């Protein structure tokens, strides 16, 4: 059963996916030289099939589904990290992804240098980074390691630094994967508090998670994906109930 989430008009639509599909080729073993020279059969895997979604500016949308259902693939396509095989994607405003928080980092550079590097990759100017530098460093809670090379950082420290840069880059659309839940408890509390501040500023948020308590708390609409297709799209209470009783 599919719940339709009706859009009365297309005004102020931040994200539009039209007939989006994503196909991967699966190579089960490394091809030999002879196999490279001849046509070789490869298994195709459809990670997403004909996805149609519209998300309004300022809307908070949760993505739920089992592992392998297509959630992360969907987030990567919205973020521009991955391109759809077929279909169209349109986003309005700056999109910042919290899927791979270490993307753009250079391990030989210091934390401070990486703030400037990663910040500029996210569209921030040098002067904007300089103005927000103390806030970024304070939020990341890196301490004296801010002037040491990134290869000395733990995974948690890199996570905190990447998140801090991303949320202070002033995104219009924030894409959040469940990996944000891998941080320690204090960091999670601080992170979700910061996300709540962005929500109050009418930022568009798309959040994928297995935790229904967070889904109920953070979003106003849920899209349930299963086996690469949308099963339901609608109000939180109804879709989460369907998902939990499947």
Query: Parallel, antiparallel, or unpaired for β 229-235 and 221-226?
Result: antiparallel
State pTM to two decimals. 0.83
Give the C-alpha separation, 216 to 224, whole Å.
Answer: 13
Q: Higher model confidence: residue 165 or residue 30? A: 165
Give the range among 55-69, 95-109, 125-139 with minimum mean pLDDT.
Answer: 95-109
Each residue of 75-95: pLDDT tens digit?
Answer: 999 999 899 999 999 999 999
Nearest Cα residue to 60 out of 213, 228, 208, 239 = 208
Residue 11 has pLDDT above 90, yes or no: no
- In the chain, the domains with their CATH numbers are 1-91+220-246 (3.40.50.300)
């Amino acid at each position: 059963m599919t719940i339709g989430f009706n859009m009365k008009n297309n005004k102020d639509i931040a994200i539009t996916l039209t007939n989006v599909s994503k196909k991967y080729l699966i190579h089960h073993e490394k091809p030999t030289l002879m196999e490279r020279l001849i046509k070789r059969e490869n298994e195709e895997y459809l990670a997403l099939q004909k996805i149609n979604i519209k998300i309004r500016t300022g809307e908070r949308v949760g993505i739920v589904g089992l592992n392998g259902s297509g959630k992360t693939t969907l987030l990567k396509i919205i973020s521009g990290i991955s391109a759809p095989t077929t279909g169209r994607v349109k986003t309005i405003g700056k999109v910042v992804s919290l899927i791979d928080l270490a993307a753009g980092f250079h391990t030989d550079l210091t934390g401070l240098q990486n703030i400037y590097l990663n910040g500029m990759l996210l569209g921030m100017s040098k002067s904007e980074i300089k103005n927000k530098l103390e806030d970024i460093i304070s939020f990341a809670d890196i301490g004296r390691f801010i002037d040491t090379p990134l290869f000395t950082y733990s995974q948690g420290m890199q996570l905190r630094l990447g998140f801090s840069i991303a949320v202070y880059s002033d995104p219009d659309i924030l894409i959040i994967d469940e990996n944000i839940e891998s941080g320690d408890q204090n960091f999670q509390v601080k992170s979700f508090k910061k996300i709540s501040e962005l929500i109050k500023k009418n930022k568009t948020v798309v959040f994928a998670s297995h935790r229904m308590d967070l889904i109920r708390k953070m979003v106003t609409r849920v899209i349930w994906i299963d086996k690469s297709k949308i099963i339901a799209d609608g109000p939180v209470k109804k879709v989460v109930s369907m998902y939990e009783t499947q």
